[in-house]
Structures are given as C-alpha cells and as structure tokens.
Chains A and B, each alone.
Chain A
Amino acid sequence: MTGTTWQRLDGPVTFALPTRALTVLVLLVATNIAVLVASFMFGSYPIDLPGVLATLVGNAPSETAETVVWNLRFPRSLAAMMTGALFALSGAVLQNITRNPLADPSLVGVSQGAGFAVVAAMIAFPDMGSVWRPALAFAGALAVAALIQWIAMQRTGGATMRFILTGIGVAAFISAGTNALLTYGDIDRALAALGWLAGSIHAARWGEVWSLAFCLALCAPILIWAARPMTALQFGPDIATGFGVAVRRNRIALITLSVALAAFAVAAVGPLGFVGLVAPHIARRIARAGVGLHLALTGATGALMVSLADLLGRTLFAPVQIPAGLMTALIGVPLFVWLILRSQARTQL
C-alpha cells in the first residue's frame, strides 16, 4: 500500500494514510460529477454548460430545459450511478467471500433470479406497484444464491470452480424460465417486462432514485461493518478462524448482503451484466487499498462505469437508445477475457 505515515509523540502514535488511494477516490468522485454534468448537457435536447448550471441553481433558460434536466436527465443519471455502485459492491463482496475473482452476480444467476421473480410477478399481477419489486427481487436472488451454494457445497475441493459453473448452469435455466414466462404472458405485459429485462435506465424517475438511495443508505452501515470480517476472510476460512472470525455466520451474512445489493439494483433497472465483475478489479488496479477503502473505490468505479455506459448508450446512436446493460456487456466482456487470461485463480482451482 502506497501511503504516508504520520508520527506523533515521537513514535508511539503512528497513522498510515493511504494517500494514493484517497487521491484516486477523490478523482473518481470528481469524474463522476463531471459525467453527471455532461449527462445533463448531451441528448436529443442539447443544453450548454452555463444553461445547465443555471438550471441547477434554479433559474433555467427555458421551461423545456428545466423539465429535461430535473424530470428526465437528473433522476436517470443518479439512478445509473447508484445502480452501478450497488452492482459493483455486490460483486466485490461476492468475490471476497468466494475468493473467486470471476464471481459476479449476473454471471452466477443471482441477477437472473431477481429478474425471474419480478417478471413472474409483473405477468401474474400486472397491477402490482413497483414498491414491491425490491422485496420480490431480493427473495428471488436469495433463493438462487442459496441453491447455488447448496449445490456447490455438496462435495469438498474445487468449490470455487464448481460455484461458478453451477452458477452459469442455474443462470441458463432461470433465463429460459423467464423467456417461457414472456411467451406465455399477455403481449403488453411481456413487452413491459422485456424492456426492463434489457437493463435499461431510461425509465428511471425520482421514485426509483429515492428507493435506490434508501437501499444504499440501508446497506452502507452494513458494508462498513462488513469490512472487518471481509479483511479476515480474504485470507481463507482457516486463517480467518485463527483471527477469531466466526466464518460460517459471517459468510452467510455477507452472501445475504451481496445478494441484497444486487437485488435492489436489479429491482430498479433490471439486470446489468459485468459491472460487479469488472469494477472491483479496476478499483484494485488503479489503487491498492485495504478492504474498506477498496469498497469505496469499487462503488465509485461502478457508478462511473454505468453512468458512462448510459450516457454513451443514449447519445452514440441517437435517436435509438442502447440500453446500458448492453453497453456494460460490451465494455465488460473484454475485461472479463483479460481476467480469464491472467487470473491467478487457476492455481487455486
């Protein structure tokens, strides 16, 4: 860890400050804000920078500008950032507990489980309010996570590899089930579900933003608590036990946390692939840090990834909007391949 060490009282009190990681974090947050402002400017109704700033402080140049920024672009960009952070954090926690650098909520079927539960409810009870989506998504995702864990744990040895492969199989099964539901369901409801499933943020309004913010606020203190057991667990269950960490209990708690993070994000915008896989690795590349700071960096990276993906997706081929889920797949897959190529995990498998 690169950093500066502060000494007080001639040595008895020392404090290591990871300056590089903190600088990077500040830079990431600044870039996020820059992308946020850029996302207000570009689109089918371009607004110049002074116009955006004026709209934000309350004296918009025109009524259209006010509507576009406050009712459309602001909630959408905020939703993109928050879902990005949620997916990234979910992936970071999952990679930590499974000690598997390739674990990702969308690869192993957790996101698909959440999606299946929501689609089933959308088709069976079309009048259901979107308030219930997070709970449904959480239930579906948790069921899938428990199923994968249960299957992968049946035999000892090589558990990491079986976890991923089992997850891929379960993901394929649930996707097929969701597709069957879509064919069976009424065409209008199916179309509504289909748009949501592509991982699209365009429908996000302030309602989604508030529910996402609520979920983030709910999970943040748990994440701060989780940094300690995660620090111990990254050395493996044996050493973690030696540190005095109740491995089994913490594993279950952390998996539940990871599932909850992914499920809340899925409930808001649908499954977005590869963010949870890639963001933790990017964060680790740009600055080495302890678990707590790494989580913060990961969250910021994920937020940046998805907001950039959304901005590119809606401006690149305008007026056609490419859902952010497709953009994250295009960005994420090459990085995923790079991870396969140089992953040290192979020696563990």
Chain B
Amino acid sequence: MTALLRSGIVGSGTVFALGALALAFGWHIAVGAKVIPLSVVIDALATPDPREFDHMVIRDLRLPRALFAVLVGGALAVAGALMQGTTRNPLAEPGLLGLLSGASFAVVMAVGVFDVANPALTPLIAAIGALGAASIVWLIATSAPGGATPLTLVLSGAAVTAFLGALISIANLLDEDSFETLRVWLTGTLAGRSTGVMLWALPWLIAGMGVALVVARQVTALSMGDETATGLGVDVTRLKALVLFSVVALTAAAVAIAGPMGFVGLIVPHAARLIFGHDYRVIVPFCAIFGATFLLVADIAARMVLSPVEVSTGIVTALLGAPFFVWLVRARL
C-alpha cells in the first residue's frame, strides 16, 4: 500500500519537478539586460535562426549559463544528499565540510602559483583538493572526543575553510595580476564561464552522477546505520569509498565550472527528503532535478534583485541557505 502511494507521489512528483525545471530554464533564459519573450526563447531553442539577434544572444550567451546552473546545481545537490545519507548528519554539505574550499584552494594554487591554466586539468586538480580537505576534516572530527558528530564536523569544516581562505587571500595579495580572473570565480558565479571548462568537467559529472545512481539503493541501507547496512548485506567500506568518489567528482566538476557555491547541497536534499521520504533511489534523481531548478532560480535572483548590477550567485545561495542552516540547527539538533 505504502509502496503504491509512494509510486503515486513519485509519478506525479516527476511530472511536477520536470515541469518546474523546464519553466525555470525558460525563465532563466528570458530575463536579463534585455527581456526576451518566452515564445522567442522556445523558437530559438527549437529552430535557431542565425540572422536573428535575439536567437544569437540566447544560443551563445544565455543558454550556456542556464546549462551551467543546471549542471552545478544538480551536482552539488546530489553530493549533499549522499553526504547526509552516509554520515547520517543533517548538516553535511560540500561547503560546510570544507570540500568546496579545498577544491578552490587547489585550483587557485594551480592557476595562480604554478601557472597551470589548462582547463582539462582543472577538474582533476579540484578533485584532489576536495579529497584532501575532506580527509583532513574527517580526520579532525573523528579524532575529537565524541567522534564525528554534526558539531565536530561543522567546526573542523569551518577551521579548514578559514585556514585555506587565509592562504588564498595571501596568495591573492602576493600576485594580484594572475588573480584578476579568479577573484570573481572565488565568490561562486555562473557569469562569463567558458564552455570549454564545462566540457572538461562533464566526464567527472557523469561519472559521479552514475556512481550516485548505482549506489543509491545501498545508501538507503547505510542511512539506517552501519550495523543495519552490514546486516542487509552491504559491504560498508566499499560503499563508503564509492560514495566518497562520487561526492568528490561531483564537487570537483561543480567547482571547476562555477567556483565554490555554498549551501546548495544542504537545502535541496532536505526538501527532497521531506517530500519523498528516505529512499535514496528516489532522492538522488530528484535532488539532481531540484538542485538544477534551485540554482536556476537563485541565478535569476542574482541577476534581477539589484539589477542592473549583478551579484554573485554564490552570495544568493548563501543568503538563502544560511537561514535554512540555522533553522536546521534549531529543529533537528
């Protein structure tokens, strides 16, 4: 009975979520310095005409940005969902646990200090940084008395973020010229990113997303506790290694495209869990859709709220995410 009811929710949820995503996508392309009617947007996507100026703007400028938002939002939300499921920690998120700052630190060092500007290497470098930061945060939190509680994890994440942030600022001060391009990227932005970076990040994103979908079933078991999962026949160590790979790959792809974008991985999984319960086979794909929709809307807000000035998308996600974090602390801990 519950299974039937659930499948009913999932069925109508899919239609609703995809509809919302399509709507946000169209709206995202329509708004901007020049408002383009939705009908023209659909025309430009369906039958592009290179002689139409609006069509060119949409195809060359606005469509890539909307695609970035979809990819980054989906990746971060799925990474957050996996982290929350495997650590059984409602506050787990790539940003709060230091992965985003680790990835951006590695990229900053590579580009700013060692002059590695090859977009093909950026996701790999970001992945190494994210993995390193995650290991350090995890090591600190587990060695603390009481183990890796939400508090110790968030505190060690904050410590690592502060330290790497200071190092990034110092590197920035020592070499202002090469940081000119990185400075905006460091606040988390979807503006002016090149399609080349996205193409190189895509394999990472697909790999991470694929692993996430495959292990989702076992993550559900793991979210009930290590012992329960072992009892249900899950190889816990192997599963955790796979989840770690997926989280790092997704985070690295997101950071390579858009820089550190906080709190996306915190809000979206909680919303998905609220609607669809605790089955990660359902949560993971819906997090991808919801995350994409969320970041599209956040990016619309970033462009519209203070128009004509544009704020960084990362600022908008933090402004939306931080109150939610405070609410979570109050309600869940």
Interface residues of A (CB under 8 A from B): 102, 107, 151, 154-155, 158, 161-162, 164-166, 168-170, 172-173, 175-177, 179-180, 183-184, 198, 273-274, 317, 320-323, 326, 329-330, 333-334, 336-337, 340-344, 346-347, 349
Contacts and interface: CB of A to CB of B under 8 A. Distances in A.
Contact of A329 (B145, B165, B312, B326): B165
B330 A176 contact: no
A238 B23 CA distance: 57
Contact of A317 (B145, B174, B306): B174
B173 interface: yes
A173 B320 CA distance: 8
A202 to B, nearest CB: 12
B202 interface: no
B44 interface: no
Given A161-B151, A273-B162, A337-B156, A172 B144 contact: no
B140 interface: yes
Nearest to B318: A176
Interface residues of B, number: 45
B151 A169 contact: no
A176 B174 contact: no
Nearest to A174: B322
B159 A340 contact: yes
A180 B306 contact: yes
A95 to B, nearest CB: 15
A179 B187 CA distance: 9
Contact of A165 (B166, B262, B312, B333): B333
B40 interface: no
Contacts of A158: 333
A180 B319 contact: yes
A330 to B, nearest CB: 5
Contact of B326 (A169, A337, A343, A346): A169
Given A164-B155, A330-B163, A320 B174 contact: yes
B72 to A, nearest CB: 18
B144 A346 contact: yes
A172 B320 CA distance: 10
Contacts of A334: 163
18 contacts: A154-B330, A158-B333, A162-B333, A165-B91, A166-B326, A168-B154, A169-B323, A170-B326, A180-B306, A273-B162, A326-B166, A330-B167, A340-B152, A341-B145, A343-B145, A346-B144, A346-B152, A349-B151
Contacts of A102: 155
B276 interface: no
Interface of B: 91, 140-141, 143-146, 149-152, 154-156, 158-160, 162-163, 165-167, 169-170, 173-174, 187, 262-263, 306, 309-312, 315, 318-319, 321-323, 325-326, 329-330, 333
B159 A155 contact: no
Given A151-B326, A165-B154, A337-B140, A329 B319 contact: no
Given A330-B163, A349-B151, A183 B319 contact: no
A342 B173 contact: no
A322 B91 CA distance: 33
Contacts of B154: 165, 168
Contacts of B159: 333, 336-337, 340
A173 B309 contact: no
B170 A161 contact: no
Contact of A274 (B162, B169, B325): B162
Most chain A CB within 10 A, of B143, B150, B156, B158, is at B158
Contacts of B169: 198, 323, 326
B144 A341 contact: yes
Nearest to A329: B166
Contact of A340 (B91, B140, B173): B140
Given A158-B333, A166-B330, A336-B159, A183 B311 contact: yes
Given A326-B166, A326-B170, A169 B325 contact: yes
Given A165-B151, A180-B311, A320-B173, A173 B144 contact: no
A336 B144 CA distance: 12
A343 B319 contact: no
Nearest to B321: A172
Contacts of B166: 326, 329-330, 333
B170 A322 contact: yes
A176 B144 contact: no
Contacts of B306: 180, 183-184
Contact of B329 (A107, A162, A198, A346): A162
Contacts of A343: 144-145
Nearest to B309: A184
Contact of A173 (B151, B174, B319, B329): B319
B329 A166 contact: yes
B315 A183 contact: yes
A281 to B, nearest CB: 14
Contacts of A342: 145
A34 B202 CA distance: 57
Contacts of A322: 170, 173
